[in-house]
Structure 1
Amino acid sequence: MFHYTIVQDGQTVEELLRDKWRLGKKIVHELRMAKAITLEDGTPVLWKDPLKAGTIIKFEYDIPASSYVPTDYCDVDIRYEDEHCLIVSKPKGMSTHPNDEWDRDTCMNHVMSYIDDNGGHYAEHVHRLDQGTKGLLLIAKHPIAKSIFDRMIEEKSIIRTYAAEVQGNIRTDSGTINAPIGKDRHHNTRRVVSPTGQHAVTHYEVVKRFKSTCVVHLVLETGRTHQIRVHLAHLGHPIVGDTMYNARQTASGDYELHAIQLEFLHPFLNESIVVKDQ
């Protein structure tokens, strides 16, 4: 169950669902059949009746349970929470989600432990981070939020900012890497820039320069597997320690890529959300 406050005077429930949130026909139909939307006191709402700004409507319907097996306790930090979403800080070395039924120590298993402890049973990640990447991950707490956030990711209205230290000094202070990414035929997990790959765009800005490396902030316009790692290597400046993409090995034997900020206009709260993970 969650609540929503009508912002636009005269808006109808149908306009909210179809025009503002642009929910799919299936979800809209399910909500209608379940009589899921009422006024705050439980009074039924006619979907085509205009509502006054400030009217609070209630959504109450059966939410399916997510399949992630909860860990004994949640070992990921919660950076932001409301009744629609969580933003967590995924540790380095932890997968976003299970890849098989025995994989039960992923970020989503830990998130499900937190959700379970707080009386919930649904959590689904909106995007993902590579196992070696740490930082902010957006989690939907109900299917309507998942549907809307998925669309926002596709429409590039959730701004994801990353930080990385790369080999060498990139000549320009800022730029855009627009290069399609596909699978490497010779390596099971590696990706390469390929003319037959998927459209991929990364924007970068150099924020600090050292003698033989520089620190860049990157904003993803698309979300392909290993996108930042592939694009920086393609530019000739792989992330320090990212040996999969031809960087020199570091003493730690690892690379540093950090999802440092998420920014979006919250579709339910109608306010700008900016969460940082420094």
Structure 2
Amino acid sequence: MKFLVKLTSPVAVTIEELVRENWQLGKKTVHSLRMQKAFQTPEGIALDWNTPLEVGQAFQIKFEEEGSSYFPSPKIPVQPFYEDDHFMIVGKPAGIKTHPNEVTETQTLMNGVFHYLDGKGHGYGEHVHRLDEGTSGLVLIAKHPIAKNLLDKMLEKKQIVRTYEAIVEGSVKNNQGTIKTAIASDRHHPNRRRVSQTGQTAITHYQVVGRNPQITKLHILLETGRTHQIRVHMAHIGHPIVGDTLYGARAITAQHYALQAFRIQFRHPITGELVNVEIPRT
């Protein structure tokens, strides 16, 4: 694989400084790039790792692509909302898993993504985050190990902002608010989580964007990313997500509960440009 890059650092840096300090790549990735002489001029001449790159200098990175282990499945349709050489953002339907938990599982989003990438001649694709099986919305997929390293670091530093839309039962009293209650596993139900003082810190911010006497539409930002966090917190304040019977909502005719990750925003880790992808609202 190869792609062209322009140095976006405000000062000249060496390749050594770029990969270790600016990009903070893992030791294994750095070693692999060094051994492959991956950093080259646009004409394909290997660059010295200790010679500074000038601000705005163009260079290419060329390396053997590391393969992912997902089984490609044409049965899972893939809807890309954004794609470049480094990553893609795709829509996950409600009702399928983000990734397989067992090698025998082949009907997950990542199986469909891998089939899509395989058709373009790519052997690598890894999800940066995940959504619950019943939650629909945008998922960020790295297309090579450098992008995976960079995006993982950004997610850890909370530099990737994901906004959810939830429709909950009842009329939420406040137009905006923050829920800060710890979440733990429910020992009485293996698939549930519950609010517990002994659990992990969980912080959810919400804003009302629509309401009637029966339901309220919220936009939600997560400060933490606990399993089922939005579902648990909404149920905890007495407003479970419509259709989420696992957390006390009334049964409805729709197959899935009303929660979607509809927007994702961050600075492109390589170009520095703002990435803002949104599923159109109805």
TM-score, normalising length: structure 2: 0.94
Q: Which residue pairs with 2:234 in the alignment? A: 232
**Aligned with 2:260 (options 250, 258, 261):** 258
| Alpha-carbon offset, residue 203 of structure 1 | 1.1
**Aligned with 2:142 (options 117, 140, 148):** 140
Q: Which residue pairs with 2:84 in the alignment? A: 82
The percent of aligned pairs where both chains have the same amino acid is: 49
> Is 1:213 the equivalent of 2:218?
no
Gaps in structure 2 of 5+ consecutive residues: none
| Alpha-carbon offset, residue 101 of structure 1 | 2.3
Name the CA distance, whole Å, in 2 between partners of 1:47 and 1:13.
Answer: 5
Name the CA distance, whole Å, in 1 between partners of 2:269 and 2:167.
Answer: 34
| Alpha-carbon offset, residue 9 of structure 1 | 4.3
Cα deviations by residue, 1:221-263 (Å, 9 ceiling, x for unpaired): 2221111111111122110111100111112253111110000
Cα deviations by residue, 1:36-71 (Å, 9 ceiling, x for unpaired): 211211222122222222222222222221111111
- Where do 1:161-172 residues align within 5 Å? 161-172=163-174
Name the CA distance, whole Å, in 1 between partners of 2:255 and 2:28.
Answer: 48
**Aligned with 2:37 (options 35, 44, 48):** 35
Name the CA distance, whole Å, in 2 between partners of 1:177 and 1:146.
Answer: 31
For residue 106 of structure 2, give the secondary structure of its aligned residue in structure 1: coil
- Where do 1:6-85 residues align within 5 Å? 6-7=7-8, 8-72=10-74, 75-85=77-87
Higher mean C-alpha deviation, range 107-116 or range 172-181: 172-181
Higher mean C-alpha deviation, range 92-101 or range 52-61: 52-61
Q: Which amino acid aligns with 1:101?
A: V
| Alpha-carbon offset, residue 217 of structure 1 | 0.3
Q: Which amino acid aligns with 1:153?
A: L
| Alpha-carbon offset, residue 111 of structure 1 | 0.4
| Alpha-carbon offset, residue 26 of structure 1 | 2.8
> Quick one: structure 1 residues 60 and 73, their matched pair in 2 at CA, closer, same or farther if it must change by over 3 Å?
farther
| 8 Å contact from structure 1 (residues 164, 257) kept in 2 | yes
Name the CA distance, whole Å, in 1 between partners of 2:246 and 2:75.
Answer: 33
Name the CA distance, whole Å, in 1 between partners of 2:139 and 2:255.
Answer: 24
Q: Which residue pairs with 1:186 in the alignment? A: 188
Counting matched residue pairs gives 278
Higher mean C-alpha deviation, range 152-161 or range 176-185: 176-185
Name the CA distance, whole Å, in 1 between partners of 2:76 and 2:101.
Answer: 19
- Where do 1:150-161 residues align within 5 Å? 150-161=152-163
Runs ≥4 in structure 1, deviation > 6 angstroms?
none
> Is 1:4 the equivalent of 2:34?
no
Higher mean C-alpha deviation, range 66-75 or range 155-164: 66-75
| Alpha-carbon offset, residue 73 of structure 1 | 5.7
For residue 67 of structure 1, give the secondary structure of its aligned residue in structure 2: coil
TM-score, normalising length: structure 1: 0.95
